[in-house]
A and B are shown apart, each in its own frame.
Chain A
Amino acid sequence: MYIYLPIAEVSMHIAVVIGLGGGIGFLSGMFGVGGGFLMTPMLIFLGVPPAVAVSTEANQIVASSVSGVLAHWRRGNVDFKMGAVLLTGGLVGSSLGVLLFSILRDIGQIDLVIKLSYVVFLGIIGALMLMESVRAIMRTRQPGARRSKMHQHNWMHGLPFKMRFRKSKLYISALLPFFLAAFVGVLSAIMGVGGGFILVPAMIYLLGMPTYVVIGTSLFQIIFVTANITLLQSVQTQTVDFVLAGLLLFGAVIGAQIGARFGTKLRGEQLRGLLALIVLMVSLKLGFDLVITPEDVFSVEIMK
């Protein structure tokens, strides 16, 4: 059965849409990631206009983050004070990102910027994750190796506006999480992702937050950032297709449950290694697209 998506203005088979949601939901449940970085390129690949793919994915991430944050909240693993600073930055960044997105779309460079952002950021994160997990696997085979000191004093600790974050056991400048979240917010709006794949490692290694509060806190702030993108894109470009978001979500919810069960069968470092490979593959595929000679150097865009 085909369904004509009212905002995307494309006709897709309903099984393809739900299957896509399920497949990516499975991976996100297994690896504990949002999956936006897989979903948005897949939607574009299937013929959904880039603007609709990014806005609709933001809408879907609101739902998956709400569903994810609840468990962390119940366990008390959300640092609301840190979350508030992050989301302030995130709101500023994502608003700028939405603006940037529409400018880039008008001048015909949005496809390029989306692809380049994916290549650069997924490439870096994927490579770092792969190195880290290979090292972790080696370490378990060589017991006795010591971990180096995680938290070091540097220029970041000389910044003003210091704040105490009790739950994270940190006393750092509020500017750090603010600018970090603002930067990720811009990427979030352009790439159609929640940004957890950058935010989580940055919160651990850059801010030095304890691992157990990182996921809940980042999910908490992603809700607000993606809600902001959903609202701004709805008002400015009318590109949020909530029918598409709903169908993807339906598949993703079921897929994530199955994936989570699969995930418990694998060890943490193996999971991270596998995820790193997927991330690198997406990055390489998009990078390859930018470099190979296109079939036709001319393209056509029907603007509405």
Chain B
Amino acid sequence: MISRCFFNAWMAGLYLIFASIAPASANTLVADLSLEEVAITTDFNGETLLLFGAVGDARDGDIIVEFKGPILKIASRKKEQVSGIWINRQTVNWRNAPSFYHLYSTRPIEEILSPASQSDLSIGYRNLGLKPQKLRLSEKELAGWIEALNRNMVNRGLWQRHDGGVSINRGVLFRTPVTLPANILPGDYDVRVLHIRDGQLIAEDRTSIQVAKRGAGAFIYRVAHEYSVFYGLFAIAFAVVAGWVAAAAFRKT
């Protein structure tokens, strides 16, 4: 509640500053996030942050926000039935698939941009230029794999579109809540904000945010990776002591 009041005050302040400079620079766009870092702590169960900003004049334009996560090793697999059992038969290892891809816009993107402009601006999962490693696929096959990847990622909440998620206030201020699910992975997240009018890019701004493990969980993760032998021995010792204590505690009863 307090942070919301503070935010409104800050937005009003931003509006005043921006309103005074806007006429001089109609083609500007500035955007920022309500957090500087998303910390995955022990009680982490997803996080909602706010992306906000201002444009020179958005009265007859639209805003598209692209929130893109780190590129990780992602594999798609296709099952086939072999003597009655469904088995993974084909694998596509993606070279450049983002682990997180959320799009927020004032209206459905199809109404804002033509297919050609979407492709020019690399907006939408079909325009990310997704390529498999090694494996050669026909264009049609590749398109099928990309649709399947999108389907699976949408189910996990990692890829999503929020048409109408961005709201514009007083013609210059825009905002959208960005929901990061609990299964989000650490890394650098890139944010791109586009101001579109009549199918043309008017202004663009970029920012980024780090999603990082923090606190006790981060410490455990680091020890497990950097001192793995010690971690393994510790896990065993912990289990032996815990088992011993449990047996002793219930021996009398």
Binding site for B on A (CB under 8 A): 1-7, 9-11, 59-60, 62-68, 70-71, 107-109, 111-112, 116, 223, 227, 230-235, 238, 240, 242-243, 245-246, 249, 253, 257, 290-294, 296-304
CB contact under 8 A between A2 and B232, given known A238-B225, A298-B148:
no
Closest 8 CB pairs of A and B: A234-B232, A66-B243, A298-B148, A6-B217, A62-B239, A63-B243, A67-B243, A63-B239
Question: B75-83, B166-174, B191-199: which one contacts chain A?
Answer: B75-83
CB of B235 within 8 A of CB of A7, answer no
19 A-B interface contacts by CB (under 8 A): A4-B45, A10-B182, A59-B239, A63-B246, A66-B247, A68-B243, A230-B235, A230-B236, A231-B233, A234-B228, A234-B235, A235-B228, A235-B229, A235-B232, A242-B235, A290-B85, A294-B79, A299-B88, A300-B76
Query: Which of chain A's residues have a CB closer than 8 A to the CB of B152?
Result: 296, 298-300
Instruction: Please measure, in the bound complex, the distance between the C-alpha atom of A175 and the C-alpha atom of B122, giving whole angstroms.
Output: 64
Instruction: Please measure, in the bound complex, the distance between the C-alpha atom of A62 and the C-alpha atom of B74, giving whole angstroms.
Output: 33
CB of A302 within 8 A of CB of B74, answer yes
Within 8 A of A (CB), among B226-245: 228-229, 231-236, 238-240, 242-244
Query: Which of chain A's residues have a CB closer than 8 A to the CB of B43?
Result: 1-4
Query: Which of chain B's residues have a CB closer than 8 A to the CB of A303?
Result: 72-75
Q: Of B218, B221, B235, B238, which is in contact with the most chain A CB atoms at under 10 Å from its CB? A: B235
Instruction: Please measure, in the bound complex, the distance between the C-alpha atom of A65 and the C-alpha atom of B235, giving whole angstroms.
Output: 15
Instruction: Please measure, in the bound complex, the distance between the C-alpha atom of A292 and the C-alpha atom of B86, giving whole angstroms.
Output: 8
Query: Which of chain A's residues have a CB closer than 8 A to the CB of B225?
Result: 238
B153 within 8 A of A: yes
**Minimum distance in angstroms from B134 CB to a CB of chain A:** 14
Instruction: Please measure, in the bound complex, the distance between the C-alpha atom of A1 and the C-alpha atom of B44, giving whole angstroms.
Output: 10
CB of B88 within 8 A of CB of A109, answer yes
B63-99 vs A, Cβ < 8 Å mask (1 yes, 0 no) = 0000000001111111111001111100100000001
> Which residue of the partner chain B has the closest CB to A253?
B246
Instruction: Please measure, in the bound complex, the distance between the C-alpha atom of A303 and the C-alpha atom of B238, giving whole angstroms.
Output: 28
Query: Which of chain A's residues have a CB closer than 8 A to the CB of B46?
Result: 11
Q: Which of B72, B73, B81, B228 contacts A238 (CB 8 A)?
A: B228
> Which residue of the partner chain A has the closest CB to B183?
A10
> Which residue of the partner chain B has the closest CB to A233?
B232
B58 within 8 A of A: no
**Minimum distance in angstroms from A231 CB to a CB of chain B:** 4
CB of A242 within 8 A of CB of B86, answer no
Query: Which of chain A's residues have a CB closer than 8 A to the CB of B182?
Result: 2, 4, 10-11
> Which residue of the partner chain B has the closest CB to A110?
B88
Query: Which of chain A's residues have a CB closer than 8 A to the CB of B112?
Result: none
B149 within 8 A of A: yes
CB of A4 within 8 A of CB of B77, answer no
CB of A257 within 8 A of CB of B250, answer yes
CB of A257 within 8 A of CB of B243, answer no
> Which residue of the partner chain A has the closest CB to B158?
A302
CB of B224 within 8 A of CB of A234, answer yes
Instruction: Please measure, in the bound complex, the distance between the C-alpha atom of A249 and the C-alpha atom of B193, giving whole angstroms.
Output: 48
**Minimum distance in angstroms from B69 CB to a CB of chain A:** 10
**Minimum distance in angstroms from B229 CB to a CB of chain A:** 6
Q: Of A1, A299, A303, which is in contact with the most chain B CB atoms at under 10 Å from its CB? A: A299
B253 within 8 A of A: yes
CB of B86 within 8 A of CB of A293, answer yes
CB of A290 within 8 A of CB of B86, answer yes
CB of A302 within 8 A of CB of B99, answer yes
CB of A2 within 8 A of CB of B44, answer yes
Instruction: Please measure, in the bound complex, the distance between the C-alpha atom of A231 and the C-alpha atom of B225, giving whole angstroms.
Output: 13
B42 within 8 A of A: yes
